[in-house]
Amino acid sequence: MARITDHIPTINFPVLLRIIGLLLVIEGSFLLIPFITCLVYGEIDWIPFLVTSGITLVTGLGMIFGIKPRSTSMGKREGFLLTAMVWIVFSAFGMIPFMFMEQEPLSISDAFFEAMSGFTTTGATVMNRVSHLSHGIIIWRSLMQWIGGLGIIIFTLAVIPMLNHSGGMQMFNAEVTGITHDKLRPRISQTARGLWLIYISLTLILYVLLIIGPMNGFEALCHAFSTMSTGGFSTADNSLDAWSSTYIEIVITIFMFLGGVSFTLLYRAVHGDFKPIWKNDVFRTYLGIIFGAYILFVIAICYHGQATSIKAVTLDPLFQIVSTITSTGYSVSNFEKWGTFVLSLVFALMFFGACAGSTSGGAKIDRLIYLLKNCRNEIVRCIHPNDILTVRVNDRVITHEIVSKVIAFLCLYVIIIMVGGVLLTAMGLPLVDSFFSAFSCISNTGLGAGVTGYGQSYDIVPDGGKWLLSLIMLIGRLELFTVLILFTPAFWQK
């Protein structure tokens, strides 16, 4: 007979709550940025930001000083639970300014959807237009994406050294996208700081390049945040079309591409070690997919008579491809005229996304490579069943356990899209819109089809659908297992 203690959770909740308190203090500090922005521009929305910042800081400080854990140890369970809880808590506090902003305040469902979309860098929005919003609200939308781009937990590990000894690696693995994760430095906090330093540096460089163009300082900062995080929020109703600038399109394309590269590779490149980049199978595949898609896009554009200029067959398709594969979600104005074949290619780019360890969404190119190589081996085994075949990536043999996990991941990925699509149809959404919305949210791309398509928003989705899509966005951002494991009885049992 099973003992009662076998079903008692062994999770160290006090230390989890204390760390969440530390994170809320960080979020409360970030909320002062839109507060100051509103003061600079003389906007009344400084009030909800000040109040929200105060509430967040007080709550965080109360959890830090009011909770005294007996032990600071953390294991895998604490790492998984903390990672999922942090994104929910950040969205819960981050949505408050949207509910009390002066212009068209949002409902609870809309505000939480907008906040979750921001932090997960999905870029889906319930707002039909943004140009009427205060500067504080606009910069908060972009700042949320920037905070969530590289990861809230990664930022925490960078600024809280104590987590080196308290489950830091478990938290790092639970949040960083991809299959396997390598430490760049001996201590996990040093690795996190190194990655964030690269992230901040690229953001600053992008900001300078954008401000050189037709954007003003505020617009450049917001787009630097949302581009480097591959989130896609903009300051204008018609996004980048508002500037009609080839220069901006080129700069944004380059930095979206960098956002889709593993930050581990970027870190090594910055430190003069270029060899891992040229020998990296995933990076070469990333380039190959972009090049192959570009050729097909150009053929489709010419076939549909849209090759009206040199830019229409050079920069525009390249911009759309990079925007899609990195899950940024920016679109060129005439994208819908390129035909359904291009749309089908967009689906494929959305599904797998860019490189693991980047700020992009999707299932990741790493898993595509593992899957294709394993499928090739299984086909060969049909003729040579006794052959010993391995999956080798980057000159390393991939274990059978990792390959099995990749297959399970991709199966769950498809199942979630199917279940999400079915549930959305039950809520009254059209068939195509339901499945594409679920697909777009789990891939953290934010593109929409039909009622949520180009030039429109997700406000037409019923409240229940918005909560469902918010969950799907979270599952997609934390790569399925981190969230889904919380719904298993085994996780809560001793």
pLDDT, tens digit (0-9, with 9 covering 90-100), for 6-61? 454 578 888 889 889 988 999 999 999 999 999 999 999 999 999 999 999 999 99
Average pLDDT of the chain? 86
Q: CA dihedral in degrees (8, 9, 10, 15; nearest 10)?
A: -140
CA 158 – CA 294 distance, rounded (Å): 38
Q: What is the mean pLDDT of residues 119-141?
A: 92
State yes or no: pLDDT of 331 exceeds 70: yes
Q: Which of 169, 165, 179 is nearest to 80 (CA)?
A: 169
pLDDT of residue 178: 54
Under DSSP, the state recorded for 358 is S
CA 7 – CA 190 distance, rounded (Å): 37
Inter-helix orientation angle 168-175/152-159, to 10° = 150
pLDDT of residue 209: 97
Contacts of 18 (CB under 8 A, 6+ apart): 63, 64, 67, 69
pLDDT of residue 408: 93
Vertex 346, ends 455 and 309: CA angle to 5°? 70
Confidence of residue 454 (pLDDT cuts 50, 70, 90): very low
Which residues partner with 397 through β-bridges? 392
- Among 120-134, 171-185, 324-338, 402-416, the minimum mean pLDDT is found in 171-185
End-to-end Cα, the chain, rounded Å? 15
Residue with tokens 């399970």: 408
- Give the count of beta carbons closer than 10 Å to the beta carbon of residue 380: 12
Alpha-carbon distances of 202 from 146, 229, 475, rounded to whole Å:
12, 10, 27
pLDDT of residue 172: 54
CA 189 – CA 198 distance, rounded (Å): 14
Q: Which of 198, 318, 329 is nearest to 254 (CA)?
A: 318
- Which stretches of 304-429 are DSSP H helices? 315-325, 340-352, 365-383, 400-426
- Among 176-190, 319-333, 409-423, the minimum mean pLDDT is found in 176-190
Q: What is the mean pLDDT of residues 471-479?
A: 92
Confidence of residue 229 (pLDDT cuts 50, 70, 90): very high
Confidence of residue 5 (pLDDT cuts 50, 70, 90): very low
pLDDT of residue 451: 44
pLDDT of residue 12: 82
Answer with the residue of higher pLDDT: 278 or 253.
253
Q: Reduce the DSSP state of residue 128 to 3 states and report it.
A: coil
Convert the pLDDT of each residue in 296-310 to its tens digit. Answer: 999 999 999 998 899
Identify whether the C-beta of residue 60 lies closer than 8 Å to the C-beta of residue 24: yes
Contacts of 17 (CB under 8 A, 6+ apart): 63, 67
State yes or no: pLDDT of 455 exceeds 70: no
CA 181 – CA 172 distance, rounded (Å): 8
Single-letter amino acid, residue 247: Y
State yes or no: pLDDT of 71 exceeds 50: yes
Q: What is the pTM (predicted TM-score) of this model?
A: 0.91
CA 364 – CA 216 distance, rounded (Å): 34
Convert the pLDDT of each residue in 347-394 to its tens digit. Answer: 999 999 999 888 888 999 999 999 999 999 889 888 888 877 888 888
CA 81 – CA 175 distance, rounded (Å): 11
Residue with tokens 């899950």: 327
Alpha-carbon distances of 279 from 238, 369, 460, rounded to whole Å:
40, 15, 47
- Among 128-132, 345-349, 455-459, 478-482, the minimum mean pLDDT is found in 455-459
Q: What is the mean pLDDT of residues 77-89?
A: 87
pLDDT of residue 182: 54
pLDDT of residue 416: 97
